[in-house]
Amino acid sequence: MCYSPLVLATESARKSEISRHSAVVRVTHWLTVIAFVALLITGGEIVISHPRFYWGEVGNSGTKPLFSLHIPASRGTVPTGYNFVMPDQNGWSRYLHFQAAWLLLFTGLIYGIVGFWTGHFRKNLVPGRGQRTWSAFRGVMAKTFRRGPPDVADARSYNVVQRATYLIVIFVLFPLVIWTGLAMSPAFTGAFPWTVIALGGRQSARTLHFFLSGALLLFLIVHVAMVYLAGFKSRMRAMITGRASAEEERP
């Protein structure tokens, strides 16, 4: 049986591809992206309404803040040092912020349950024995900033830096940002008062929530930069189709 060159090239390209991400990982990844972007935008609007942070249970315009952001507020009653106020977008931003937070929570639960059930965390995120060394870390960093095609190991799995970072984000930062966010909800803390008491008060939860959100924003920036350096086209295609090729070159 004879095949055209186009068919043979297509078959060859398909054979050179390797499976990278499952459907659950891809769907939850993009849902998390949507929720996180919505949370960043609406969270910024909420902060603008009162760019002062406190520690403890109570904090208001008449209370000395722990620290303040040097930006104008969207409420004239908040002392900022500026002689004007920003447009007040606090209403819609709070509603959308809560909705996006619930989307993030349920997406995270699905990802966590499936990840433990299928062994995804153990197989793909927990560093192997050969990766738990300083030399392995240095090798990964040197390879990341070197222009050139990724090798098969990079295309097939996460390196040690990615694994450690993802574990911290998934099991530390995201749970804490969700906890501190829920601790600011009167309805939730009314049912589970220990969630806010353990953090030192509602204003303490807001301050911690702000710093945790900043850490996640930093992760997002570094993550996008690393995806670009490792080969933006191949990494994006892998997260959309679930398959990757080790032969695609970096930018």
- Residue 251: the pLDDT is 39
Specify whether the CB–CB gap between 163 and 127 falls below 8 A: yes
3-state DSSP assignment of residue 20: coil
* 68 DSSP β-pair partners: 52
| Rounded Cα distance, 107 and 30, in Å | 10
SS3 string of 152-199?
Answer: HHHHHCCCHHHHHHHHHHHHHHHHHHHHHHHCCCHHHHHHCCHHHHCC
CATH fold of the domain at 18-245: Fumarate Reductase Cytochrome B subunit (1.20.950)
Place of tokens 């738990």: 132
Domain locations along the chain: 18-245
Query: What pLDDT, on the 0 to 100 scale, is given for residue 21?
Result: 82
pLDDT tens digits in sequence order for the chain, 251 residues long: 554 554 444 444 444 567 778 899 999 999 999 999 999 999 999 999 999 999 999 998 889 999 999 999 998 889 888 888 999 998 899 999 999 999 999 999 999 999 999 998 888 888 766 555 545 555 555 555 555 545 545 545 567 777 888 899 999 999 999 999 999 999 999 999 999 999 999 999 999 999 999 999 999 998 888 888 777 888 888 888 887 765 554 43
pLDDT at 8: 40
Rounded CA separation 145/122 (Å): 27
Distance CA 165, CA 134 (A): 15
Closest CA to 102 of 4, 181, 194: 181
